[in-house]
Each structure stands twice: as C-alpha cells, then as structure tokens.
Amino acid sequence: MEKFYVYVVSLLFFSLLLLHGGTASRAFRKNQDGSEEWGYVQVRPKAHMFWWLYRSPYRVEDPSKPWPIILWLQGGPGASGVGIGNFQEVGPLDTNLEPRNSTWLRKADLLFVDNPVGTGFSFVEDTNLFVKTDSEAATDLTVLLEEIFNRNENLQESPLYIVAESYGGKLAVTLGVSALKAIEAGKLKLKLGGVVLGDSWISPEDFVFSWGPLLKDISRLDNNGLLKSKSLAQKIKQQLDSGNYVEATSSWSELEEVIIVSSNSVDFYNFLLDSGMDPLSSTATELSVGVSMKRYARYLSTYKSATPGGSDGVDLDTLMNGTIRKKLKIIPENVTWGGQSDYVFTVLAGDFMRPRIDEVDELLAKGVNVTIYNGQLDVICATKGTEAWVEKLKWEGLQKFQSIERTPLFCGDDKHTKGFTKSYKNLHFYWILGAGHFVPVDQPCVALNMVGAITDSPASAASASVAPTRKRKM
C-alpha cells in the first residue's frame, strides 16, 4: 500500500510539471524499495535544483555511531555531481551501470546535487538567475537542505558531511558557513558532521604560484618556462590585490596556456601524463568559456579505458540524457543534462579567483571538523598550493598542527605506503600518493578507508577487502 501511495504521489507531481510548462517546484520520486529518492527544489522563483539521494544497503546500526550522510559537491563550476561524482567516481554504479566495488555507499548514504543552478539537470527559466558568487550558490544549497532535511526526521538523525572536489571546495566552505547560520537560527534541522575539501580550489593565488616551481622540480618546465609562469602569477596576485577578479580569471587562462606550451602539454590533473594522452586536458581558451564539465567527463572516461581491465563505458552525456533521464521521469521536456552548464562558469567568472580561506578559518573557529585531502600528482590544485594556503590560516591550533608528525596510510594487505595523514583538534589532512586530481578514481581503496574514518562510519572498522557489490536495479 505504501509503495502504491508513493507511486501515485510521484505521478501526480510529474503531471503537475507538464501542466506548468515543464517547470519544477518540489517534485520528487522514489524507487520501489525506497533506497533512492530524487527530485527538484525551487530554491528561488524559476531557479530549480536537482538532487538524488541513495540510502546505503550496507548500513550498520550502532547506537554510539549514527550512520552518516555525504553531500557530494562537484567542481567546475558547472560540473554535475549527479552525473560525474555519481557515475564516474563514488556512486553505486559506473557508466556501464555495473556495480562499483569502491562506492562510498559502503560507508555512508550519498546525496548528489547538481549545483549551482544551471548545472546538470538543474536549470533556470531566466538567464539572469544564474548565481554570480559562491555565497549566492551557498544560499541556494541551504534552501535545498532545508527542503530535504526539515521534512524528514530520519535524515536529521544522521550527521551530514559536505564533501567537495575542486571548485566544489569553495562552494563547500561557503555552504558550511551558511548552513551553520541556518542551524543556529532554527531554520535548518540537521547535524553538520564536517566539511571535506578534496583537491579544492580554496586559494587560487597559492595554486598559480605553485604551478611553476612544481613543474620545474619534475622537469616539465625549464628556467624559461618557470620565469614566464612566475611573471604571470605575479600579475594575477596584483589583480587579486586590486580586486580585479574578472581580469585575474583571464590571466589565469593565459597562465595555463603558457604552461601548456612550455611543458609540451602537461596534464593539469596528473603531471605524469600529457594532455594529448587524454582529451580532457583542453587549452586555456576552452577553459575560459566554461567547458569544465565536459573536461571532467572526458578525463574520467579516458582514464577508465586506459586502465588495464577497464572499459570505455557509455558516454556520460548519452547516459544521462538517455537511460537516466527515462528512469528519473521528472526531468522537464525542455531540459537536457548539461544544457546550461557552460553558462554557470561564465557567470561566476567574477568570483572564480576569489579565495575562501576566511571561510575555512570561520568553520575551524566554530569547532566544525575540516578535512583536507590532496592527490600527489595533481597540478591544478597542487599539494604545494594547498599547503601554502593552510599556512595562512589564523586558526589558533595551526602551529601545533604543523608540528605533528604524519602517520602513513596503507590499504588491506598491501604494505606499500598509500599516503600520510595527521590531525589536531578539528583540522585533518590526508596526502594521497599515486593520485591526481580525482582521488577516488586513482586510489579507490585508500579513499574509501579515508572517508570511513572522516565520517566515523559504523562500517569504518570493516576490512578494506570488500565483497562484490550488491546488484542495484535501474
């Protein structure tokens, strides 16, 4: 009877979408067993954000440790968490719709969001409604969380961990601050477990200054390339100091182009590769017009096909606008996955190079757990740059944190060092060896163990050697 009720309510919402010209307000659906739920929230008039929640089949009940929920925020800006993070990184199925043994559902429930509005299946009915700042995006996300959590007491019992990748890190810390204010005001009913920053674009200035020295050290740049890189990085710093953020974004594109030429096309997501080895690493000119979503998808698809035993998989755009769209049943007829994504990057150009170190400091000062993880081989958000912005924190525990020795990380029976970690109070850092920008893809075992530890998952004590993933029906 309950399943029939859900079906009727979902069908009614879908009918309302069609009656109102293909727009969405608070439409949602569930699958038959209730393990998945998805829908739209109208975060502002005519601005619609899409979300997809997976409940874990591996849930472990422990009175002393509540089962966590992970909110995954993708980068770009304009890259789809519902598509990329879900089907290419940490969700239950890959692009062939085959089970992923390393899915993060083994440690937590997963909530994917297409954010900011205009990303993935999210859309606006008026182009003036794209967000122009990270803070505007955080406000929209806070409204989304209010709609999802305030109406569901079961979700309120689980701590929410905001986990971000790349530009998503800037959105994560601004959301963390916004969500805390909403919680304190009684507007948002959830427990914020922490904020997790994976290869995150928190301080663009520190990253652009890291590129030249890093690539010189690994012989991808010579002295001439290093000097050109330093000169442009200095120009970007001057623009940022003057508040000329749009100009700084343009100079960032210029710097990437110089590095591509001087390094013979080093891959910005993995310095062991050439961009010619994967179609993702496009030119700085392409980056400036906002095709970051496509770069993500192409990189991960190519990575999989180049891996021994890997598979080309289904093109993500084809999958999302085909099989997945048919499953979801609530996507308006005039909306295509990724149809507005390029605009998201373009409209955010004025905030793209703005740092968010102050927001990290604010979260730490309020006692929120902040975890940073970085792939050793990343260039775009290089570890050298991440360590540089961490040193700028005003947090009272920073000096003690820096003095602590790191602990090595291993996976299962493999005795090879997979990374290092250290923690002090509510600041935690993971250095992941052998991984580029996409840590869950490059090092799935250590990433899964890491997220279990971060979220204090009741399943985190389980063996890293996992059983075959349970079949999940589309």
The residues annotated with a catalytic role in the active site are: 166, 378, 437
- How far apart CA 277 and CA 188 sit, in angstroms, is 46
Local structure of 422: helix, strand or coil: strand
- 282 contacts: CB under 8 Å, gap ≥ 6: 275, 291, 295
Question: Which one-letter amino acid corresponds to residue 216?
Answer: K
Q: What is the DSSP letter of 458?
A: T
Question: Rounded CA gap, 159 and 455, in Å?
Answer: 8
Angle of the 204-217 helix axis to the 223-241 helix axis, nearest 10: 170
CA atoms within 13 A on the CB side of 16: 12
Q: Are 342 and 168 in contact (CB under 8 A)?
A: no
Q: Is 147 helix (H, G, I), strand (E, B) or coil?
A: helix
Residue 461, number of CB atoms within 10 A of its CB = 11
Extended beta strands in 298-413, E state? 370-375, 407-411
Residue 373 in 3-state DSSP?
strand
